[in-house]
Structure 1
Amino acid sequence: MPALNTNGPGFDPDVDRMLEDDNESPPYSPTEEAQDPDVVWRGSLAMSSIADFPANAKHVGGANFASFGPWSRLIPKRMTVAGRIPQQSAIEYLCSLRYSNLTDIVVVSITPASAGSRPEFSKLVDYFISKNRYGVVGNKVAGNVRDTYLVPVPAGEDGHPEFMLNLVDNYIPKSRAEPMLLAQQQQQQQQQPPAASRPGRGATR
């Protein structure tokens, strides 16, 4: 049997090994996150000494900002909690906005970006529930955003935040196996007259 000529053109052991590796590798498959068209924001959420984790968001109520522009113009890449506000004060203020024709309410649901981020997410939600407070996000990317509140929603039946019941579009599940964290933003369409007073921002923890 003639010897195999390994010195001629067309023979490259390194290329052959690469081709063998390619044949053994599983086909490329996009991640579940990349396949989810409902994700409108990817970034991070932090509150000093409580939690800091990568997160995603989906639109779950109120105006859909996609009709105005990209979501990156509404939600900062990194949301930082700057304070707290008593839950009842926030509810009264948010419910009063149903009578305003100049303010759009936008609500997204914040979720941890991975299973490894869930403990930090749970710590933040549990903190707000135990303190009976909403979080107040300090940074913003749009000048016409008045406030951004972080609203914990416990697991269980019903229990929707009262202001959500005033919205035409409310996609929060009636029954929830796990708690949710909403980010609620008030987007001002134009300069409003100083009619209704707004609740003050809560002091930092």
Structure 2
Amino acid sequence: MVKKSLITKIVFVNVLMANSLVACSVLDTPLSFQESELESIQLSDGFRLELQTIPWAAREFRQYQDQDGNKAFATYRQGGKLLATGFSDEKLTKELAFSEALRLCHAYAKVEIGCNIEHFEASLEEPIDLSLYPPEVIGFPDVTHFDYYQKQRGHKAIAGNASGILGGIASTELMAQKKAINQCRRNTHFSAPDCYIIASE
């Protein structure tokens, strides 16, 4: 019985760690794009040129390409110069992908407005009925987390914020809430530092 409980907790933690909030920061590494790599991608002429001449922007976009849809890539410029990017992946809808990419871009740029969507790619997964979930469930990994939470017996809690959800299981409801909040604080993104309880029993 103890072993089964331990396995359940380990699985739950592993599921939580798979949550993908992916965003970009300014990194000073690799290779710019070649024109041939961008031929089949619908991009503005300006951004296409930036991907060929700005290594950190190319790195960000390559990371974005490796993610699954629904995903969106946003950019921020000042005086015509690219200063920041942000991207989202595995979101439940196009609107959520846009919203998250813009939110992250604004966070990296340290502005409230000014980012624009450069690219979007739709998910191949079946649509999810959003009415079945709280508003913090914004991505397919969040659906997995919340479904797992609902199946668990005993005292439990699930915490999150604008960037998604996390949860915890414990011997009392109060302990479960504390555990969920602590997990959320450890794993949340700097752009969404506040954590709160979404549900508990």
Q: TM-score, normalised by structure 1?
A: 0.21
Structure number with greater Rg is 1
Higher relative contact order (CA 8 A, sep 6+): 1
Structure with the bigger percentage of helix: 2
Structure with the bigger percentage of strand: 1
